[in-house]
Amino acid sequence: MALRNLLLAVALAMTALLAVVVWRYPSPGDFLSDNPSWNGMSDFIEEFHARPIKSLRDLPPAPADTMLIVVPYERFAQDELASLDSFLRRGGTLLLMDDYGYGNEVLSYLGAPVRFSGQPLLDPLYTYRNEQFPRVQNVDASVQDLADLALNHATALADVPAEATLVTSSSFSFLDLDGNGNWDPDDSRGPFPVAARQRVGDGSLVVVADPSIVINSMNVGGNYAFIKVMQGERQVLVDESHLPRDQSVDLGHAMLKAVRRGLATPIGGVGLVFAVLLPALWPILRYQGGKR
Amino acid sequence: MRLRLALLALFLLLAVSPFAGPIRAGPAHPPHEDPKLALSRRDAYHWIAYYGEVLDLLLAQDPDAARALLEELGRSNLPLGLEDRLRRLDSSLLLAVDGIKVVQEAVEAIPGLLESNRVAEATQRFQSARVTLLDLESQIPNLSAAAAAVAEGLGATRAPPGTRQREAFEAVADRTSQLLTQYQEGLRYLDGVRDAVQALEVSLRPATLGMVVDRDSALVGEAIEVSGQLTSRDEPLPGRRVVVASSLNVSVPTTTAEDGSFRVALSVPYAYVTSFTLWTLYVPEGQDATEYQGVASAKVLVNLRFFRTSLEASWPRQAHPGKPMLVVGKLVGQGEVQLSSRRLRLLLDGRPFAEGTVDSDFQVEAVLPADALPGSHRLKVEVDPDFASSGASVENDLDLELLPTGVQVGWPRVVLAPGKLRVSGAVSSPGGALGPADIRVSLDNRSVDSQSAAGGKFASELPLPWSLALFGPHVARVVADPNEPWAASGAGEGSLFVVNLADVGLFLVAAATLVGLAMRKRMRVAVAPASTPAMPAPVRVEPHTASVPQRPLDFRSRVLGAYAEGTEAALRYTGRQMAPNVTLRGFLREARPALGGTGNAYAELTLAGEVALYSPADLSEEQAIRAEHVAHQVVEALTGGPA
**Nearest-CA distance B105 → chain A (Å):** 26
pLDDT band with cut points at 50, 70 and 90 for residue B64: very high
- Tell me if B416 sits within 8 A of B394, measured CB to CB: no
The C-alpha atoms of residue A267 and residue B149 are separated, in whole angstroms, by 78
Average pLDDT over residues B230-245: 95
Q: Is the dihedral of CA B544, B548, B553, B556 positive or negative?
A: positive
**Predicted local distance difference test score (pLDDT) of residue B16:** 41
Task: Identify all chain A residues contacting B516, using CB atoms and an 8 Å cutoff.
Answer: 280
**Nearest-CA distance A81 → chain B (Å):** 16
A248 vs B363 pLDDT, higher one: B363
The C-alpha atoms of residue B550 and residue A286 are separated, in whole angstroms, by 18
Q: What's chain B's average pLDDT?
A: 85
**Predicted local distance difference test score (pLDDT) of residue B112:** 92
The C-alpha atoms of residue B317 and residue B400 are separated, in whole angstroms, by 9
Q: Among B26, B513, B616, whose Cβ lies nearest the Cβ of A73?
A: B26
**Predicted local distance difference test score (pLDDT) of residue A275:** 77
pLDDT band with cut points at 50, 70 and 90 for residue B518: confident
Task: Identify all chain B residues contacting A169, using CB atoms and an 8 Å cutoff.
Answer: none
Contact B32 A153 (CB under 8 A): yes
**HEC profile for B23-45?**
CCCCCCCCCCCCHHHCCCCCCHH
The C-alpha atoms of residue A206 and residue A218 are separated, in whole angstroms, by 19
**pLDDT, tens digit (0-9, with 9 covering 90-100), for B522-574:** 766 555 544 444 444 444 444 444 444 455 568 888 899 999 999 989 888 88
Contact A268 B39 (CB under 8 A): no
pLDDT band with cut points at 50, 70 and 90 for residue A199: confident
Give contacts of B 568-607 with A, CB under 8 A: none
**Predicted local distance difference test score (pLDDT) of residue B25:** 38
Q: Among A128, A269, A273, whose Cβ lies nearest the Cβ of B35?
A: A128
Q: Which CATH architecture has domain B44-203?
A: Up-down Bundle (1.20)
Beta bridge pairs of residue B131: none
B80 close contact with A: CB closer than 8 A: no
The C-alpha atoms of residue A110 and residue A123 are separated, in whole angstroms, by 31
User: For residue B304, is pLDDT > 50?
Assistant: yes
This prediction's pTM: 0.59
* DSSP designation for B18: T
User: For residue B302, is pLDDT > 90?
Assistant: yes
Q: Which residue type occupies B342?
A: R
pLDDT band with cut points at 50, 70 and 90 for residue B6: low
For the residues of B210-266, what is the DSSP string, one character each? EEEES-SEEETT-EEEEEEEEEETTEE-TT-EEEEEETTS-EEEEE--TTSEEEEEE
The C-alpha atoms of residue A99 and residue A218 are separated, in whole angstroms, by 16
User: For residue A113, what are the contacts with CB-CB under 8 A and spacing of at least 6?
Assistant: A159, A160, A161
Q: What does each C-alpha distance from B616 to B430, B524, B562, B619, B641 come to in angstroms? A: 77, 11, 19, 9, 34
Task: Identify all chain A residues contacting B479, using CB atoms and an 8 Å cutoff.
Answer: 60-62
Asked if domains B309-400 and B406-503 share a fold, the reply is: yes
**Predicted local distance difference test score (pLDDT) of residue B578:** 80
Domain edges within chain B: 44-203, 208-305, 309-400, 406-503, 529-639
Q: What are phi and psi of B209, to 5 degrees?
A: -125, 115
The C-alpha atoms of residue B491 and residue B478 are separated, in whole angstroms, by 5
**Predicted local distance difference test score (pLDDT) of residue B4:** 55
User: For residue A29, what are the contacts with CB-CB under 8 A and spacing of at least 6?
Assistant: A35, A39, A40, A243, A244, A245, A247, A249, A250
Task: Identify all chain B residues contacting A290, using CB atoms and an 8 Å cutoff.
Answer: 617-618
**Predicted local distance difference test score (pLDDT) of residue B144:** 94
First to last CA, chain A: 26
The predicted complex's ipTM stands at: 0.79
CATH superfamily entry for domain B406-503: Immunoglobulins (2.60.40.10)
pLDDT band with cut points at 50, 70 and 90 for residue A184: confident
Chain Cα centroid distance, residue B603: 85
A70 vs B492 pLDDT, higher one: A70
pLDDT band with cut points at 50, 70 and 90 for residue A1: low
Phi-psi region of B572 (alpha: psi -120 to 50; beta: other; left: phi over 0): alpha
Average pLDDT over residues B23-39: 67
pLDDT band with cut points at 50, 70 and 90 for residue B613: confident
Which of B8, B14, B32 best probes binding to A when mutated, by most A CB atoms within 10 angstroms? Answer: B32
Average pLDDT over residues B206-229: 94
Contact A271 B14 (CB under 8 A): yes
Task: Identify all chain B residues contacting A63, using CB atoms and an 8 Å cutoff.
Answer: 489
User: For residue A160, is pLDDT > 90?
Assistant: yes
Contact B29 A244 (CB under 8 A): yes
* DSSP designation for B81: T
Task: Identify all chain A residues contacting B1, using CB atoms and an 8 Å cutoff.
Answer: 4, 8
pLDDT band with cut points at 50, 70 and 90 for residue B178: very high
**pLDDT, tens digit (0-9, with 9 covering 90-100), for B238-270:** 999 999 999 999 999 999 999 999 999 999 999
DSSP 3-state assignment of A238?
strand
Q: Which residue type occupies B347?
A: L
**Predicted local distance difference test score (pLDDT) of residue B319:** 92
Strand ranges for B487-579 from DSSP E: 490-500
Average pLDDT over residues A192-196: 96
**Predicted local distance difference test score (pLDDT) of residue B542:** 47
**Predicted local distance difference test score (pLDDT) of residue B8:** 52
Task: Identify all chain B residues contacting A202, using CB atoms and an 8 Å cutoff.
Answer: 371
Q: Which CATH number fits domain A42-239: 3.40.50, 2.60.40, 3.40.1710, 1.10.3470?
A: 3.40.50
**pLDDT, tens digit (0-9, with 9 covering 90-100), for A47-103:** 999 999 989 988 887 788 899 999 999 999 999 999 999 999 888 999 999 999 999
The C-alpha atoms of residue B296 and residue B277 are separated, in whole angstroms, by 13
**pLDDT, tens digit (0-9, with 9 covering 90-100), for B370-416:** 877 767 788 999 999 988 889 999 999 888 888 888 889 988 889 98
Q: Among B18, B31, B510, whose Cβ lies nearest the Cβ of A100?
A: B31
Topology classification of domain B309-400: Immunoglobulin-like (2.60.40)
CA of B469: which chain A residue's CA is closest? A264
Q: Is the dihedral of CA B331, B335, B340, B342 positive or negative?
A: negative
Bridge pairing between strands A193-200 and A203-208: antiparallel
Among A272-286, B460-474, B521-535, the range with the most confident prediction by mean pLDDT is: B460-474
- Tell me if B292 sits within 8 A of B117, measured CB to CB: yes
**Predicted local distance difference test score (pLDDT) of residue A109:** 95
The C-alpha atoms of residue B328 and residue B318 are separated, in whole angstroms, by 15
pLDDT band with cut points at 50, 70 and 90 for residue B146: very high
pLDDT band with cut points at 50, 70 and 90 for residue B643: very low
For the residues of B394-432, what is the DSSP string, one character each? EEEEEEE-PBP-EEEEE--SEEEESEEEEEEEEEE-TTS
B49 close contact with A: CB closer than 8 A: yes
**Is CATH 2.30.40.10 correct for B208-305?**
no
Burial B122-131 (b: 16+ CB within 10 A, else e): bbebbeebbe
**Nearest-CA distance B554 → chain A (Å):** 15
Cis peptide before B473 (omega within 30 of 0): no
User: For residue B325, is pLDDT > 50?
Assistant: yes
**Predicted local distance difference test score (pLDDT) of residue B19:** 38
A206 vs B455 pLDDT, higher one: A206
Q: Among B34, B445, B513, whose Cβ lies nearest the Cβ of A57?
A: B445
pLDDT band with cut points at 50, 70 and 90 for residue B21: very low
Q: Is the dihedral of CA B44, B47, B48, B50 positive or negative?
A: positive
Domain edges within chain A: 42-239
Average pLDDT over residues B429-437: 89
Bridge pairing between strands B235-236 and B241-246: unpaired
* DSSP designation for B598: G
**Predicted local distance difference test score (pLDDT) of residue B548:** 45
Contact B38 A261 (CB under 8 A): no
Average pLDDT over residues B51-78: 92
Average pLDDT over residues A252-262: 75
**pLDDT, tens digit (0-9, with 9 covering 90-100), for A120-147:** 999 999 988 889 999 998 888 888 888 8
User: For residue B286, is pLDDT > 50?
Assistant: yes
The C-alpha atoms of residue B247 and residue B252 are separated, in whole angstroms, by 12
Bridge pairing between strands B438-443 and B472-481: antiparallel
Task: Identify all chain B residues contacting A73, using CB atoms and an 8 Å cutoff.
Answer: 26-27, 30
